[in-house]
Structure 1
């Protein structure tokens, strides 16, 4: 067993005695990308990397490139601050990407990517817009420097192991996507054609709703609701959020059919009292109306006091529409199509209340809405349980991968030659 020493850094812990702890600025020339407007981007050419993690951070393409050598980049600010990438080939970076180009040949970039993924995540600082690690802050971060042969050995090992884990995660994610599409198809079938396969059908406009039972109506949402309106962010923004008080629902909490309260915020009762028009009550349908999560919808089924911000719309049904039926509509294909059509205008960034009110929804009698709700609750419940199991497995695999990287890059786990 190799001899170890205290690194002096809490989130690194003990390291082998022959390893060094070195400031990033001693190993890398530190730079930054440039401002690249969205309007400059094309669908082909040389990749432009930005702060996002989707698509490996690729925002689009240019017909020119700024870099033609391997280096590390990191996201300087925002939710993904501290994310580390290894860039190769010909490429560009935006101004929210810091760049790390090795000064000499003592560095295996693959090893440093793995090491800095762990270290930089713990070094980032909280900012009003999420997190930050700016160039001067990255420069003084301490990173690990094993002997070069050990760096190669660790990088080879982790390349193989992480690829194996990522392959399993990708397969599980693919299954989840297929299950979600299957669930959406079941919901769409039930809320447009009902549960009686022998029912007489009639053509309907708009055409994307398709055939509906002859005895059903198709009505605008504004005639089926007593309220369509969104909330607001209280004066002071995130600075007034508290650890307890009145639940403050934001778009990141609203998903298709459920709430995610892992990043929940609260506001004081005093602030809530100034926002009485945006309070949420049991059986309110909540719909995200802006941004990348537009169209996600769930039903508020609690008596706990709550409020919403301006990115979430409250839809309160009247006595002609069951709230759960309305929520299933938004989670169906025709609900998504309706939103896409209203978003089709140039530079359209969200839905307004007039547009929501004018969207058409199949409207069976209340007793039939209840039957459909019961049917979908049963069908979707089974699918949701399987999806939850898949998510749990993905979380465990992700945690195992992070743990493995930490153990290996800090020398706590020796790796075989590969």
Structure 2
């Protein structure tokens, strides 16, 4: 278990959620940024950031999904337990509307976890999500890959505040340093990451199948013994 000694007054002044700013993981992340072969820029130079509003939505009526933190994960965007807005409510809340290619980022619970909105269907975000609408300097899939990486997550955790649960402010998100390869290199990185992810999924499925076969074999042996 990692141990780090800091002055209590430092923690009070920092007002952070955890001890992450003083840990080896953040030191390591900063070292990787320093050694990056690519330019490092602040997130707010790559597009516009908008936080959602406090909207409740309804459970069983309406047609437009109101996305929240429960709908964003490293696997993408899901519509589990989603609430809805009516088309009229959606139109009135233009600032919280989501378009294809937008990057959605959790601000609480699992701060910084991100996913690309890949649908043409209308949707809105609530107050616990941020919407990033990017310039042509960065591929949305690459930014999501970066935000969900160990390096970015260590930095994000160090910036999270809150007395009850971790929370990432829009200011802190905008100040986040981002490694920025060329667009061609970004696409290469994403293609390789997707290949490895697919391969990992296949290996995981094969492992589950082998475990199931082992359980069947054990069951058969026990039955024969009886």
Name the TM-score, length of structure 1 as normaliser: 0.40
Which structure features the higher share of helix residues?
Answer: 2
After the TM superposition, which residues 27-66 of structure 1 pair with which residues of structure 2 at under 5 Å, given as runs?
none
Q: Is 1:209 paired with 2:33?
A: yes
After superposition, what is the alpha-carbon deviation per residue over 1:346-377, rounded to whole angstroms, capped at 9, x for unaligned?
A: 66741121111110011011111111111111
Q: Is 1:249 paired with 2:70?
A: no
1:230: which partner in 2?
Answer: 51
Structure 2: where are the runs of 5+ without partners? 1-27, 210-226
- C-alpha displacement of 1:300: 0.8
> 1:242–1:267: 8 Å Cα contact kept in structure 2?
no
Tell me: CA distance 1:385–1:265, structure 2 relative to 1, closer, same or farther (3 Å): farther
C-alpha separation in 2, matches of 1:284 and 1:219: 19
1:355: which partner in 2?
Answer: 172
C-alpha separation in 1, matches of 2:99 and 2:160: 28
2:221: which partner in 1?
Answer: none
2:86: which partner in 1?
Answer: 268
After the TM superposition, which residues 322-341 of structure 1 pair with which residues of structure 2 at under 5 Å, given as runs?
322-341=139-158
- C-alpha displacement of 1:283: 1.0
> 2:64–2:85: 8 Å Cα contact kept in structure 1?
yes
C-alpha separation in 1, matches of 2:43 and 2:59: 33
- C-alpha displacement of 1:386: 5.1
- C-alpha displacement of 1:280: 0.7
Query: For 1:206, what is the secondary structure of its paired residue?
Result: helix
Q: Is 1:218 paired with 2:45?
A: no
Paired residue total = 184
Q: Is 1:382 paired with 2:199?
A: yes
Larger radius of gyration, structure 1 or 2? 1
1:370: which partner in 2?
Answer: 187
Tell me: CA distance 1:384–1:322, structure 2 relative to 1, closer, same or farther (3 Å): same
1:320: which partner in 2?
Answer: 137
Tell me: CA distance 1:345–1:371, structure 2 relative to 1, closer, same or farther (3 Å): same
The correspondence for 1:305, drawn from 115, 122, 125, is: 122
2:77: which partner in 1?
Answer: 259
Tell me: CA distance 1:387–1:252, structure 2 relative to 1, closer, same or farther (3 Å): farther
> 1:286–1:314: 8 Å Cα contact kept in structure 2?
yes
Structure of greater relative contact order (alpha carbons < 8 Å, 6+ residues apart): 2
RMSD of the TM alignment (CA)?
Answer: 2.9
2:16: which partner in 1?
Answer: none
Structure 1: where are the runs of 5+ without partners? 1-203, 393-418
- C-alpha displacement of 1:390: 8.1
After superposition, what is the alpha-carbon deviation per residue over 1:301-336, rounded to whole angstroms, capped at 9, x for unaligned?
A: 111111111111111111111111100011100111
Tell me: CA distance 1:346–1:220, structure 2 relative to 1, closer, same or farther (3 Å): same
After superposition, what is the alpha-carbon deviation per residue over 1:268-305, rounded to whole angstroms, capped at 9, x for unaligned?
A: 00111111001111111111001x22222111111111
Tell me: CA distance 1:281–1:391, structure 2 relative to 1, closer, same or farther (3 Å): farther
> 2:106–2:112: 8 Å Cα contact kept in structure 1?
yes
Tell me: CA distance 1:387–1:311, structure 2 relative to 1, closer, same or farther (3 Å): farther
Tell me: CA distance 1:311–1:371, structure 2 relative to 1, closer, same or farther (3 Å): same
C-alpha separation in 2, matches of 1:306 and 1:221: 24
